[in-house]
Structure 1
Amino acid sequence: MSNDIVVLGAGMHPWGKWGRNFVQYGVHAARAALKDAGVPWTDVDLVVGGETVRNGYAGYVAGSTFASALGWNGARIATSYAACATGAQAIDTARARILAGMSEVALVVGADTTPKGFLAPNAGERWDDPDWLRFRLLGMTNPAYFALYARRRMDLYGATAEDFAQVKVKNSRHGLTNPYARYRKEVAAQEVLDSAVVSDPLHLLDICATSDGAAAVVLCSTAYAARLGVTDPVRVKAVATVTPSFPNTVIDMPLLSTDASGGIDPEHTFKESIGIAAYEEAGIDPSDVDVAEVYDLSTALELDWMEDLQLCKRGEAEALLRAGDTTLGGRIPVNPSGGLACFGEAVPAQAIAQVCELTWQLRGQAEGRQVEGARVGITANQGLFGHGSSVILAR
């Protein structure tokens, strides 16, 4: 029995710093996705919203908020939150109901209006929250956290600041013609290296901005797509949201027990685990992947994700980058959309935006940035508390 569902429509609101209510962005993206799908709003029987924690009560109940804004049609609703993996978990929620036969046509929407500057934890003291602790006790803002990853690549694999800068150069070139990207300007490596050091070794242009934006997809059962006469559709082959595995260990802090037993492989971090789980679920091999959209909150993180998704071996990401293998026309283009380097963070939307981009890529509709002959694509995002997400699409 196939576990496939169909991506019938994809839509986005351009990323930027517009300062408007997030609902406006989400409705724009939703209507674009419905138009792309060619189905009426009245056919949608499930709305799943990606929660945005910075936008008040409407953001906490995003599924209901978007259903209301689009006009009550009797659809069931759900809301998902998983930090930067929010969009993928929302897609997984819709997929589960479709595969269970409880829904035929689902609309998944993520939208955000972000503050200026770094994203920080919500107000209040949460002594059992490791993310709050790293901010408040260690001063470990996201750029400092990303810098640890970058320094690790330098120490283990000989990566250089110039390598990180070249990731930005590549992605800025990819995003030039993307109508949804916030930054559509080519950047030279020296510009990256000359920008302010935020957290050594990362410069300002190594780190993505915070943005307003939205993305939406219309998902449906294969039977519904067939009734519409859709042939050779883009299919969701896998959605992985797994956690890491560890040996028997207990961390002496409330809610942070990692006590586990039986068949535990301590070498599988959550970033490695989600790729493994996605490939197993989809029944494909990493060598089958034609295009990847990965989480590049910093330039160095893109290089990590290439290895975590087994697109190359450990320590080889820089070599692929230098050889041009990850650029358009290369062996495995990474972030042809321009990535978060060109978009910035709109947290509940970004994993959905990746699925939109891969949908257009697999349809051959990514004008100006098309990966020729793409048939299989993979995404990756990092969440909080040791989880992330990966989605595999195929045609």
Structure 2
Amino acid sequence: MTAEVAVLGVGMHPWGKWGRSFTEYGTAAALAALMDAGLDWPDVGSVVGADTVRGGYPGYVAGATFARALGWQGARVASVYAACASGAQAIATARAQILAGLADVVLVVGADAAPKGFFRPAGGDRPDDPDWLRFRLLGATNPAYFGLYARRRMAVHGDTLEDFALVKVKNAALGALNPYARYRKRVTAEEVAASAVVADPLRLLDICATSDGGAALVLCSMDFARRHGVARPVRIRAVSTVTPRFPNTLLDLPDIATDSAAAVEPPGETLRASIARTAYEEAGIGPEDLSLAEVYDLSTALELQWYEDLGLCGEGEGAKLLREGATAPGGRIPVNTSGGLASFGEAVPAQAIAQVCEVARQLRDAAGDRQVAGARVGITANQGLFGHGSSVIAVR
């Protein structure tokens, strides 16, 4: 049987541009999660923090930073960093501690105070950092990268600007219903089309902003949940934090100079698809079992790509799935019921945790006007540092 841990509490600090310390956002989210779980801070046996490289020294030791802010009480601490996958890796670390018997209750916290404008690698010149090289040598900021994805979909699958706009319209309508979202205003396809071009073909309303915010989870063993009187909690059944499969060294490559027939066999699936496959295999389910999905919509076009990589439809059929209404509220598989990053923006260490907060609320039937009727299985997905990513599957 798949090893499971219970989600006993969820908590968030609203996303926005507040101009305060990430510690304040994370602490507020942590206290909200503890209240939701019906626990006190001394009940926590371990704190796992998702790091923020923009928070200076405290951000690099986020677990200890949050433990100190909440008050020293003897809990274990751990800190993890994997860019946008940091939150899911923090969840994976917490789950491992619980399943190993090191703690019955673990608090997972991520928060960020993002700078204005485009993200850039921290710490000055870093020629061994692929992101630094991409920015410095190619001038490819993240929106430019998103634009390349969008152009590829248009060329290969026939997606249109109108398709991309429909993603924003859907997510903005859901974000308008979410009290934690930064942008709580519905938009029309015409407004998306009229917004400024940032990285052709993507407009301002096609891409996500950078934001401040925080999110937290209280995870516990199944035995603890039962002792706490929660007979049927939301359970995390799978956490996938996989890396790409590509040749790493010259020794792995064929001698293409002397053997014209030699070729590297391309991977049978994209990284995003491998993230999902690993999660499905661990959870013992398939995409047909899902009630909802929270995906990493850095751009409207990228959300369509996730539909395919999660197996919600066939390759090249993402826009068709969207136009049919399958990913909207009331559809076969609602996607980004929280409003997605389109409505929140990026608070990097918090966003994978926030995705699980949304799934947990949905599975509890506690998402208010955003509620997916009869939700029983949810998946999250995002990419992270050096191209690897993460996916969490929760069930009830």
TM-score, normalization by structure 1 = 0.96
**Which secondary structure does the structure 2 equivalent of 1:385 belong to?**
helix
CA contact (8 A) 1:131 1:384 kept: no
Deviations 1:74-103 (A, max 9, x none): 000000111001100000000011011111
Aligned match of 2:208 = 208
Q: Which shows bigger deviation, 56-65 or 265-274?
A: 265-274
The gaps in structure 1 that reach 5 residues or longer are 252-256
Amino acid in structure 1 at the alignment position of 2:62:
A
CA contact (8 A) 1:217 1:352 kept: yes
Amino acid in structure 2 at the alignment position of 1:135:
F
- The alignment status of 1:377 with 2:381, answered yes or no, reads no
Go from structure 1 to structure 2 and tell me whether the alpha carbon gap of 1:376 and 1:89 turns closer, same or farther (over 3 Å shift).
Answer: same
Go from structure 1 to structure 2 and tell me whether the alpha carbon gap of 1:361 and 1:259 turns closer, same or farther (over 3 Å shift).
Answer: farther
**Which secondary structure does the structure 2 equivalent of 1:215 belong to?**
strand
What is the alpha-carbon distance in structure 1 between the residues aligned to residue 385 and residue 2 of structure 2?
31
What is the alpha-carbon distance in structure 1 between the residues aligned to residue 248 and residue 367 of structure 2?
47
Aligned match of 1:286 = 287
- The alignment status of 1:303 with 2:304, answered yes or no, reads yes
- 1:250 Cα shift? 3.4
Aligned match of 2:217 = 217
CA contact (8 A) 1:244 1:268 kept: no
- 1:258 Cα shift? 6.9
Aligned match of 2:164 = 164
**Which secondary structure does the structure 2 equivalent of 1:216 belong to?**
strand
- 1:22 Cα shift? 0.8
Amino acid in structure 1 at the alignment position of 2:66:
F
RMSD, aligned CA: 1.5
Go from structure 1 to structure 2 and tell me whether the alpha carbon gap of 1:259 and 1:363 turns closer, same or farther (over 3 Å shift).
Answer: farther
- 1:265 Cα shift? 6.5
CA contact (8 A) 2:2 2:282 kept: no
- The alignment status of 1:178 with 2:178, answered yes or no, reads yes
Kindly report which structure 2 residues correspond to 1:1-395, keeping only aligned pairs within 5 A, or say none: 1-246=1-246, 248=247, 250=249, 266-395=267-396
What is the alpha-carbon distance in structure 2 between the residues aligned to residue 259 and residue 98 of structure 1?
41
What is the alpha-carbon distance in structure 2 between the residues aligned to residue 269 and residue 100 of structure 1?
32
- 1:249 Cα shift? 6.1
**Which secondary structure does the structure 1 equivalent of 2:313 belong to?**
coil
Amino acid in structure 2 at the alignment position of 1:302:
E
Aligned length: 387
- What stretches of structure 1 move > 4 A for 4+ residues in a row? 257-260
Amino acid in structure 1 at the alignment position of 2:381:
A
**Which secondary structure does the structure 1 equivalent of 2:337 belong to?**
coil
Go from structure 1 to structure 2 and tell me whether the alpha carbon gap of 1:181 and 1:89 turns closer, same or farther (over 3 Å shift).
Answer: same
CA contact (8 A) 1:245 1:268 kept: no
What is the alpha-carbon distance in structure 1 between the residues aligned to residue 252 and residue 166 of structure 2?
38
CA contact (8 A) 1:46 1:76 kept: yes
Over the matched positions of the two proteins, sequence identity in percent amounts to: 68
Go from structure 1 to structure 2 and tell me whether the alpha carbon gap of 1:123 and 1:36 turns closer, same or farther (over 3 Å shift).
Answer: same
Amino acid in structure 1 at the alignment position of 2:69:
A
Go from structure 1 to structure 2 and tell me whether the alpha carbon gap of 1:269 and 1:259 turns closer, same or farther (over 3 Å shift).
Answer: farther
- 1:381 Cα shift? 0.8
Amino acid in structure 1 at the alignment position of 2:245:
S
Amino acid in structure 2 at the alignment position of 1:48:
V
- 1:312 Cα shift? 1.0
Amino acid in structure 2 at the alignment position of 1:182:
R
What is the alpha-carbon distance in structure 1 between the residues aligned to residue 73 and residue 32 of structure 2?
18
What is the alpha-carbon distance in structure 2 between the residues aligned to residue 327 and residue 39 of structure 1?
35
Go from structure 1 to structure 2 and tell me whether the alpha carbon gap of 1:83 and 1:14 turns closer, same or farther (over 3 Å shift).
Answer: same
Amino acid in structure 1 at the alignment position of 2:38:
G
Amino acid in structure 2 at the alignment position of 1:88:
A
Aligned match of 2:260 = none
Deviations 1:219-243 (A, max 9, x none): 0000100111211110001000111
- 1:272 Cα shift? 1.0
What is the alpha-carbon distance in structure 1 between the residues aligned to residue 339 and residue 252 of structure 2?
37
CA contact (8 A) 1:245 1:265 kept: no
CA contact (8 A) 2:296 2:382 kept: yes
TM-score, normalization by structure 2 = 0.95
The gaps in structure 2 that reach 5 residues or longer are 255-264
- 1:54 Cα shift? 0.5
What is the alpha-carbon distance in structure 1 between the residues aligned to residue 360 and residue 281 of structure 2?
21
- 1:124 Cα shift? 2.2
CA contact (8 A) 1:114 1:211 kept: yes
Deviations 1:46-83 (A, max 9, x none): 00001000011010100000000001110000001110
**Which secondary structure does the structure 2 equivalent of 1:208 belong to?**
coil
What is the alpha-carbon distance in structure 1 between the residues aligned to residue 59 and residue 244 of structure 2?
29
What is the alpha-carbon distance in structure 2 between the residues aligned to residue 133 and residue 323 of structure 1?
40
Deviations 1:287-307 (A, max 9, x none): 000100000010001011111
- 1:128 Cα shift? 2.1
- 1:122 Cα shift? 1.2
- 1:163 Cα shift? 0.5
